[in-house]
């Protein structure tokens, strides 16, 4: 893949910049700047997705037939970089970047016609029901059970660490439909209406004090059998396909570049770049980030060649987690004791609470704490290394 930009790519970049200048409000930029984790403030994320939807840009990577932009992978990349550098709020990925591609790849025609437009327009908000209290890395051991009952399944069990379940009206969920054969062979992938009787959502508050995670309980929840994606007991195929999209193709590099720029600005404002040790640490992160951006280009090239991110997405996810954590650690060093005040109200978009210290430091500690989870969410660093050992190195 050629990284150099052609005249058309520069023209496209200018078009994106003009669009952002006109449509990205200061309120939305603020929500983007105050994002501390893998998701932004829900209302801001929704509002921004609706702006993109009106422009026809909500799903840059989707095929045009399903409402995507038809952009080349390089255009998608340029768009992601410009958005990240302009501090857009993160568009919640569970619909557009996760279950959307899974439905396109494995859903039937009715499911595509029903769900894809509602994902695009943000009418449906999705959460991911994979992990359970006893099943994370060893996901195939999951026990939430779906038992056929007439035209429906009856679902019982619990999912945990479910990001955004409290804001979602839909869940894509892995359930056990058989105990025969290997554990992977008895799992099905099903779409659940979160308003179904018998579902209870309990909050889990993060170290930073945010409500993003939940535990979800299912008690005799009735879900139509037609909500299966793929065949009964073949959900593992759909789940693995979806995880590649979760780990790759998400413009990690652009977000990290935005975070690195923010860190550089914080350091500059405090005169830290003149100090050798700090400047060296900043440069080290810059080198690792650049290497990551090149990996991302390789993943984009894989998507062009094969239509899916492939196992290199694990490498990307691992690098993104470690570089992001490095940036957040150095940001804490940079703001020093001003990282200490716990002021959740001051980092809400639109807040009029006066921050203690400079405003650019208000989210630094929360980000540091929230981003510890980056090396766990979406599959831990160790699991990514296992996947690479097996699928990339052939060990």
Ligand X SMILES: Cc1cc2nc3c(=O)[nH]c(=O)nc-3n(C[C@H](O)[C@H](O)[C@H](O)COP(=O)(O)OP(=O)(O)OC[C@H]3O[C@@H](n4cnc5c(N)ncnc54)[C@H](O)[C@@H]3O)c2cc1C
The catalytic site residues sit at 246
* 371 is a contact residue toward ligand X (CB under 6 A): no
* 376 is a contact residue toward ligand X (CB under 6 A): yes
Do residues 347 and 363 make contact, with C-beta atoms less than 8 angstroms apart? yes
Q: Whole-number minimum distance, CB 192 to ligand X, in Å?
A: 13
| CB-nearer residue toward ligand X: 184 or 290 | 184
Question: By CB under 6 A, what part of segment 194-213 binds ligand X?
Answer: 213
| CB-nearer residue toward ligand X: 260 or 374 | 374
Rounded distance, CA 231 to CA 312, Å? 27
Q: Whole-number minimum distance, CB 336 to ligand X, in Å?
A: 27
Residue closest to 92 by CA, chosen among 49, 129, 121: 49
Residue closest to 250 by CA, chosen among 84, 44, 12, 69: 84
* 92 is a contact residue toward ligand X (CB under 6 A): no
Residue 140's contacts (CB-CB under 8 Å, 6 or more residues apart) are: 182, 183, 184, 187, 236
* 131 is a contact residue toward ligand X (CB under 6 A): yes
Q: Whole-number minimum distance, CB 248 to ligand X, in Å?
A: 16
* 220 is a contact residue toward ligand X (CB under 6 A): no
Closest residue (Cβ) to ligand X? 136
Rounded distance, CA 384 to CA 238, Å? 19
Q: Whole-number minimum distance, CB 77 to ligand X, in Å?
A: 25
Q: Whole-number minimum distance, CB 38 to ligand X, in Å?
A: 6
Instruction: Characterize the bridge pairing of strands 126-129 and 170-176.
Output: parallel
Strand residue runs (E) in the chain:
126-129, 145-149, 152-160, 170-176, 187-193, 199-205, 211-224, 228-229
Rounded distance, CA 36 to CA 328, Å? 10
* 130 is a contact residue toward ligand X (CB under 6 A): yes
| CB-nearer residue toward ligand X: 290 or 325 | 325
* 179 is a contact residue toward ligand X (CB under 6 A): no
Q: Please pick, from the candidates 282, 293, 379, 387, the single residue that binds ligand X as defined by CB under 6 A.
A: 379
Residue closest to 365 by CA, chosen among 330, 316, 323, 314: 330
286's enclosing H/E stretch is helix 276-306
* 158 is a contact residue toward ligand X (CB under 6 A): no
Name the one range near ligand X by CB under 6 A: 52-60, 123-131, 324-332, 337-345. Answer: 123-131
Q: How many degrees, rounded to 5, is the angle at CA 256 between CA 251 and CA 257?
A: 100
Residue 195's Cβ-count burial label (10 Å; 0-12, 13-18, 19+) is exposed
Name the one range near ligand X by CB under 6 A: 46-54, 57-65, 115-123, 374-382. Answer: 374-382
Q: Please pick, from the candidates 9, 15, 325, 386, the single residue that binds ligand X as defined by CB under 6 A.
A: 386
User: What 3-state DSSP class applies to 234?
Assistant: strand
* 141 is a contact residue toward ligand X (CB under 6 A): no
* 140 is a contact residue toward ligand X (CB under 6 A): no
In the chain, the N- to C-terminal Cα span, in Å, equals 28
* 373 is a contact residue toward ligand X (CB under 6 A): yes
| CB-nearer residue toward ligand X: 46 or 72 | 46
Q: Which residues bind ligand X (CB under 6 A)?
A: 127-131, 136-137, 161-163, 213, 373, 376-377, 379-380, 382-383, 386
């Amino acid at each position: 893949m050629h990284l150099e930009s052609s005249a058309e790519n520069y023209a496209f970049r200018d078009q994106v910049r003009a669009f952002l200048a006109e449509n990205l409000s200061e309120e939305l930029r603020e929500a983007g700047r105050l994002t501390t984790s893998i998701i932004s403030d829900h209302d801001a994320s929704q509002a921004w997705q609706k702006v993109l939807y009106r422009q026809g840009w909500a799903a840059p990577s989707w095929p045009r037939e399903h409402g995507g932009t038809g952009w080349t992978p390089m255009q998608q990349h340029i768009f992601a970089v410009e958005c990240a550098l302009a501090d857009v709020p993160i568009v919640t990925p569970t619909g557009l970047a996760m279950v959307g591609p899974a439905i396109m790849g494995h859903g039937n025609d009715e499911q595509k016609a029903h769900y894809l437009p509602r994902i695009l327009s943000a009418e449906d908000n999705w959460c991911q029901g994979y992990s359970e209290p006893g099943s994370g890395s060893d996901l195939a051991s999951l026990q939430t059970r779906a038992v056929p009952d007439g035209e429906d399944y009856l679902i019982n069990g619990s999912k945990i660490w479910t990001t955004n379940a409290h804001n979602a009206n839909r869940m894509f969920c892995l359930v056990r439909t058989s105990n025969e054969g290997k554990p992977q062979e008895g799992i099905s992938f099903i779409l659940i209406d979160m308003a179904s009787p018998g579902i209870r959502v309990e909050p889990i508050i993060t170290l930073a004090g945010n409500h993003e995670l939940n535990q979800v309980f299912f008690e005799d929840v009735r879900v139509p059998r037609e909500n299966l994606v793929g065949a009964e007991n073949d959900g593992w195929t759909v789940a693995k396909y979806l995880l590649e999209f979760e780990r790759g193709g998400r413009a990690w590099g652009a977000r990290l570049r935005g975070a690195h720029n923010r860190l550089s600005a914080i350091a500059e404002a405090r005169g830290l770049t003149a100090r050798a040790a700090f400047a060296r640490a900043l440069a080290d992160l810059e080198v690792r980030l650049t290497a990551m951006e090149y990996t991302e280009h390789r993943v984009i090239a894989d998507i062009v060649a094969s239509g899916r991110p492939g196992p290199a997405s694990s490498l990307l996810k691992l690098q993104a987690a470690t570089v992001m954590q490095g940036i957040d650690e150095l940001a804490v060093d940079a703001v020093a004791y001003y990282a200490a005040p716990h002021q959740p109200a001051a980092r809400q978009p639109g807040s009029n609470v006066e921050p203690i210290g400079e405003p650019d430091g208000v989210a630094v500690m929360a980000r540091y704490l929230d981003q510890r989870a980056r090396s766990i969410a979406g599959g831990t660093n160790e699991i990514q290394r296992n996947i690479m050992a097996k699928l990339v190195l052939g060990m």
